[in-house]
Structure 1
Amino acid sequence: MVAFVGLILGIVLGIVWNVNIPLKFSPYISVAIFACIDSIFGAIRSSLNKDFRPDIFVSGFFGNAVLAALMVYLGDKLGIPIYIAAIIVFGERVFTNFAIIRRLLMERAKFRH
């Protein structure tokens, strides 16, 4: 529930505030957004499994975003586009969590009927 409220709040704030991000920061922001989305889907999944812990969610949400941004920075300094690998990994995790969430919801709906 906390993740869902945070997601809605973030979407509303993003729509209300028109924030322009310089092009040179776009790899950092894209990876950080994917890391945060990964944490949100992980929180929804763990909530459906009834083992959600807010401390794990918050530490993962911010920790993943910071770690991902640091990896992109390191890649920039080394001249290697590490952000592409990070986006692929986080993207895979998002789709895996979504698939598990979908299955859990379908199983629950099946048992209710």
Structure 2
Amino acid sequence: MWLPLIGLIVGLVVGFLLDWRVPQEYSSYLSIALLAGLDTIFGGIRSFLERTFNVRIFLSGFFFNTLFAAGLAFIGGFLGIDLYLAAIVAFGVRLFNNLAVIRRIVLSRWINQEE
């Protein structure tokens, strides 16, 4: 339970202390990777709350989604088409859907706990 929190704190501290910039030509790839990672994390939280979490599905989804989205961005860049926007929209919709389900689960448990 503490390991992800420690990793988040270490990552934030290192990120704020280092003056590291992502080159402009890689910013679309980074945005795709960030959204794919967030989608997978919130999907994992959702499946944990629904008691259906499987670490193999979580890890394979993380790497497959990230590589597929980066591949779309690469092919789109090669063809001169903004294909990464399709992945951004898809991951954005899934991210907000997962957040809505997580909110409903947490609120229903909180309300049922009060009764």
Classify the TM-score, shorter chain: 0.7 to 0.9
| Alpha carbons of structure 1 residues 90 and 19: separation in structure 2 relative to 1, 3 Å | same
| Alpha carbons of structure 1 residues 21 and 64: separation in structure 2 relative to 1, 3 Å | same
Q: CA deviation at 1:78?
A: 1.2
C-alpha deviations, 1:69-91, integer Å up to 9, x for none? 01100001111101111111100
Q: CA deviation at 1:7?
A: 6.9
Aligned residues: 113
Which has the greater radius of gyration? 2
Report the counterpart of residue 43 of structure 1 in structure 2: 44
Identical positions, percent: 41
* CA–CA distance in structure 2, aligned partners of residues 6 and 44 of structure 1: 17
Q: CA deviation at 1:103?
A: 0.2
Q: So what's the TM-score if we normalise by structure 2?
A: 0.86
Report the counterpart of residue 8 of structure 1 in structure 2: 8
Gaps of 5+ in 2: none
Report the counterpart of residue 111 of structure 1 in structure 2: 112
| Counterpart code for 1:25 | Y
Q: For the aligned residues, what is the CA RMSD?
A: 2.2
SS, match of residue 20 in structure 2 = coil
C-alpha deviations, 1:74-111, integer Å up to 9, x for none? 00111110111111110010000000000000000011
Gaps of 5+ in 1: none
Report the counterpart of residue 82 of structure 1 in structure 2: 83
Q: So what's the TM-score if we normalise by structure 1?
A: 0.88
Report the counterpart of residue 91 of structure 1 in structure 2: 92
- Structure 1 ranges of 4+ moved more than 3 A: 1-7, 9-18
* CA–CA distance in structure 2, aligned partners of residues 111 and 102 of structure 1: 14
Report the counterpart of residue 61 of structure 1 in structure 2: 62
The answer to whether the 8 Å contact 1:3/1:40 transfers is no
* CA–CA distance in structure 1, aligned partners of residues 2 and 75 of structure 2: 32
SS, match of residue 52 in structure 2 = coil
